[in-house]
Amino acid sequence: MRAVVVPQPGEADALTLAERPDPVPSEREVRIRVTAAGLNGADLSQRRGFYPSPAGAPDWPGLEVSGTVDAVGDDVTEWHVGDRVCALLPGGGYAELVTVDAGLVLPVPEGVDLVEAAGLPEVAATVWSNVVDLGRLSAGDALLVHGGSSGIGTMAIQLGRALGADVIATAGSDEKAAFCREVGAQAAVNYRTQDFVEAAHAFTDGRGVDVVLDIVGGSYIARDLDALATGGRIVSIAVRDREPASVDMGLLMRKRASIHGTTLRARPLAERTAIIAAVREHVWPLVAEGRIRPVIDSVFPLEDAAAAHRRMESSAHRGKILLQVG
């Protein structure tokens, strides 16, 4: 099979199309003939040599795919050859075939394009596990989403609204802020020209937000705390600002607030399958109803993976970038 590998860490041109042996599913695995793969920030970090695949996973990028079931292991009963599926992977999605534990596979809802479905598993699992499981977002809460025009951001906006929360987002331009409002945010600010702390307090009539989904880290954490309501929760899922975060512990205690830092890829299999089960139960009906949709920026052929990475690194994209494989 063809796969996009990284012989040596580096810039986007380090991505190389190569032949790799077809994977063989184990007893509890499904093999998927890939239609499309989603790009994620972790892929860029892996390409640069900073985020290797976990033990046992392919050593090339790709954390989510869509496609059709090609083969199943002896102990797999739920999935059958020909099923339209998408899946959360520990790695290796930039390929024509992938194998994955059956518990990390999701059906593609009726009415969802099979290519576009590749943009759903990672963002749905990330947002559900962080904003809802850890952040305890519920109806009537206020949610601040950083990077609202990204794949994660567009899912967080849509899921927050579907759950009855009020959503304010940040973005890097007036155009992207307008895009966040189109996706469903009730308010959106250009963080380059506006203070998101002031905007969050204005949005909530001075109360502050209940949950912050942070993809920046560093200096943003202290400002997130300033934006929080009493009892609020900050969930940090990425570190773009490499400066150490500084937190006013007195303010944290006075607000009775909490800060969570998490990753998804490195979690034990049992935790990841539990998250996928929750996504299937709670998020997938919203996708089937059309209340949540994949927001796709662009689709590149597999052999143009380098161009896709450059598109993501430019920060010009809105929503998910996909690689079309089959």
User: What residue ranges do the domains of the chain occupy?
Assistant: 2-120+267-324, 124-261
pLDDT band with cut points at 50, 70 and 90 for residue 326: confident
> Which tens digits make up the pLDDT trace of 245-298?
888 899 999 999 999 999 898 899 999 999 999 999 999 999 999 999 999 999
> Which tens digits make up the pLDDT trace of 118-153?
999 999 999 999 999 999 999 999 999 999 999 999
DSSP character for 280? Answer: I
For residues 226 and 205, is the Cβ–Cβ distance under 8 A? no
Mean pLDDT of the chain: 96
> Which tens digits make up the pLDDT trace of 153-187?
999 999 999 999 999 999 999 999 999 999 999 99
pLDDT band with cut points at 50, 70 and 90 for residue 75: very high
For residues 295 and 153, is the Cβ–Cβ distance under 8 A? no
pTM: 0.94
Q: How high is the pLDDT of residue 242?
A: 72
The string of DSSP codes covering 157-173 is HHHHHHTT-EEEEEESS
Q: Which CATH superfamily is domain 124-261 in?
A: NAD(P)-binding Rossmann-like Domain (3.40.50.720)
For residues 172 and 191, is the Cβ–Cβ distance under 8 A? yes
Pairing of strands 166-171, 228-236: unpaired
For residues 111 and 84, is the Cβ–Cβ distance under 8 A? no
The topology (CATH level 3) of 2-120+267-324 is Quinone Oxidoreductase; Chain A, domain 1 (3.90.180)
Please report which helix (H) or strand (E) contains residue 276, including its range: helix 269-278
Q: How high is the pLDDT of residue 39?
A: 98
